[in-house]
Amino acid sequence: MADHLLEVRNLSVDFHTAQGTVHAVRDVSWHLDRGETLAILGESGSGKSVSASAIMNLIDCPPGEIVSGELLFDGQDLLKMTDDQRRDLNGRRIAMIFQDPLSHLNPVYTVGFQISEIMTAHGSPKDEARARALELMERVGIPNAADKIDSYPHEFSGGQRQRLMIAMALGMKPDILIADEPTTALDVTVQAQILDLLEELQAETQMGLLLITHDLGVVAEVADRVVVMNSGEIVETGTATQVYHNPTHPYTKQLIGAVPGTGEMAEPMDTAIKPILEINKMGKKYGAFTALQDASLTVLPGETVAIVGESGSGKSTLAKTLLRLEDATSGEALYQGRDLVTMDAAELFALRREIQMVFQDPTQSLNPRMSVYDIISEAFVIHPEILPKEKWTARVQELLEQVGLNASHMYRYPHQFSGGQRQRIAIARALALEPKLIVCDEAVSALDVSIQAQVITLLNRLQEELGLSYLFIAHDLPLVRDFAHRVVVMQGGRIVEQGPVAQIFDAPRETYTRNLLAASLHPDPEVQAARRAERQDLQEAV
């Protein structure tokens, strides 16, 4: 039956690990037609990438094992083909692009060579392949492609690298393009451009696009149909609009409910109270490079101030200089009237208790060789005035319960927890010092949407209970919309706009803010369509 371009039937894949067999996907079936975009949506560990890996013959066997199923491509079962036959199909008729373009481009070859390699590997003459590579680079929108063809991958920006990956994938005019989280590592405005490019290319070549993603916004933007996966099983299939508006499975409902950016916006705080933190014209230079320039903002007690911006906008530099992980080159940061920038070591040590930080990736911010008890109680070791030693266990227990874990987790090690739980541990560690201000540097960016929502709820609850202030650094605008009282928008080391959350989202003044908002994706396909029109208007205006 050659009804569909690609059809996966009853695919089950197991992974045999030392801890037992993991059923990565169970009985999964879906299909993809020419000119269609199918999105496989799921959180980490849902098995969303496994079926694509099976199609590309990327599953290592062992430990993987394809237990059952058929992968029909043009009516032929891929699983019954020889390795040589599949190699011939890979790249030529089925191509794939990955999440992190830097690690999938070889740093020691020029991009021109790498793009034409796909074609020479499938038998094209060298000069023809090179000409086609140049053509492709122009097509995917690399400026001055003729000059850049002999450049190396590190000379391109992240978005350009993803364009190069796409050029590489398109070399042989494939029938199917598999994109595994193609825009997750990119800034929102770049993400929008890449998605636009994929859509255009699809319209041109009528290829089938299989998009693997965790982001409902991406689904709303480009997908025709969507397959929702949860722990190795398909829970729901349908058109993007249908699934968003009428989800039938509880998991899908929960997933859609957890998507940020749809709730009420917070009221601005009363500005008459004395701010807890006042940053005045802070600047940071690395040699001749200015990472941060004239940044001024205030944080009130109990307030959440979000700093948003794309990579390289200086938002993390601001956090680092604030916590004296780096020294500011100019300006001042007054914390309750005392200047953090010029403070001496002893005073700074005392202040460490009051300003804490929660890092982006809890996998890296928790010492893997320390138990949860050691990690949290380290605060008391460093600042012995907080608690006498005999009360440590009880306090650690209390903190764990406060962040939604329990006492039995105390003697385990970080790797035994899920990402969301680890971030809770990191929050408990920060709370152990009884801080007044917590700097969250992309604290939920590495987490799945539903876990993100839980952690945000936790942060909100802690703010109410303990009167904490947050300086919340993020690139995800919808998240900020739900969580922050005030928003600071940064670009190229400068603050371009700041104001109450409602003002920034409903009536942004600066073009940059408007671009940023237009580029962020909304999970509702209909809203997203309107937003896209707005984005195109903005582009035309430029």
User: Considering the complex, what minimum distance in angstroms separates the CB of residue 315 from another protein?
Assistant: 16
Interacting span for another protein (CB under 8 A) from 66-74, 240-248, 345-353, 530-538: 345-353
Q: How many residues make contact with another protein (CB under 8 A)? A: 46
Of 93, 383, 395, 514, the residue at the interface with another protein (CB under 8 A) is 383
411 binds another protein (CB under 8 A): yes
Token match 């329990």: residue?
406
Closer residue to another protein, CB minimum distance, 2 or 381:
381
State the Cα–Cα distance between residues 403 and 401, nearest whole angstrom: 5
Nearer to another protein, 93 or 412 (CB): 412
378 binds another protein per the rule CB under 8 A: yes
Angle at 476 between CA 518 and CA 341, to 5 degrees: 120
Closest distance to another protein from the beta carbon of 30 (Å): 26
CA gap 409, 405 in Å, rounded: 7
Which 8-state DSSP code applies to residue 60?
A: -
Closest to another protein by CB, 89 vs 358, is: 358
**Token match 């009884």: residue?**
434
* Helix, strand, coil fractions of the chain, as percent rounded to 5: 40, 25, 35
Which residues contact residue 519 at a Cβ distance below 8 angstroms, ignoring those fewer than 6 apart? 188, 189, 191, 192, 535
Please, what is the minimum distance in Å from the beta carbon of residue 415 to another protein? 5
Q: Give Cα 443 distance to the centre of its chain.
A: 11
Q: How far is the CB of 320 from another protein (least distance, A)?
A: 9
Candidates 130, 429, 522, 532: give the one binding another protein (CB under 8 A).
429
Task: Rule CB under 8 A: choose which of 85, 157, 311, 364 binds another protein.
Answer: 364
Site string for another protein, 270-309 (x = CB under 8 A): ----------------------------------------
DSSP of 104-116: HS-TTS-HHHHHH
Q: How far is the CB of 424 from another protein (least distance, A)?
A: 8
Burial of 9 (0-12, 13-18, 19+ CB in 10 A): middle
Q: Which of 61, 146, 273, 382 binds another protein (CB under 8 A)?
A: 382
Q: What DSSP line would sit under 74-85, residue for residue?
A: TTEEGGGS-HHH
Give the distance from CA 177 to its chain's centroid.
Answer: 22
Q: Which 434-473 residues touch another protein, going by CB under 8 A? A: 450-451, 454
Judged by CB under 8 A, the stretch of 171-179, 209-217, 240-248, 406-414 that binds another protein is: 406-414
Q: How many whole angstroms separate alpha carbon 474 and alpha carbon 316? A: 9
Closest CA to 438 of 420, 426, 448: 426
Burial 118-139 (b: 16+ CB within 10 A, else e): bbbbbebeeeebbebbbebbeb
| Among 157, 181, 155, 177, residue whose Cα is nearest residue 167 | 177
- Residue 242 lies near another protein (rule: CB under 8 A): no
Residue of the chain from 30, 335, 373, 417 that contacts another protein (CB under 8 A): 417
- Preceding peptide of 63 cis, ω within 30°: yes
**What Å distances lie between residue 119 and 126, 175, 201, 338, 486, CA to CA?**
8, 15, 18, 63, 52
Residue 273 vs 381, nearer CB to another protein: 381
**Does the footprint of another protein cover residue 408 (CB under 8 A)?**
yes
| Residue 235 within binding range of another protein, rule CB under 8 A | no
Query: Please, which residue, 351 or 490, has the CB nearer to another protein?
Result: 351
| Binding to another protein in span 309-338, by CB under 8 A | 323, 325
Stretch that binds another protein, among 209-217, 220-228, 421-429, 515-523 (CB under 8 A): 421-429
Q: How far is the CB of 123 from another protein (least distance, A)?
A: 44
Binding site for another protein (CB under 8 A): 18-19, 323, 325, 348-349, 352-353, 356-357, 359-361, 364-369, 371, 378-379, 381-383, 404-406, 408-413, 415-418, 420-421, 426, 429, 433, 450-451, 454
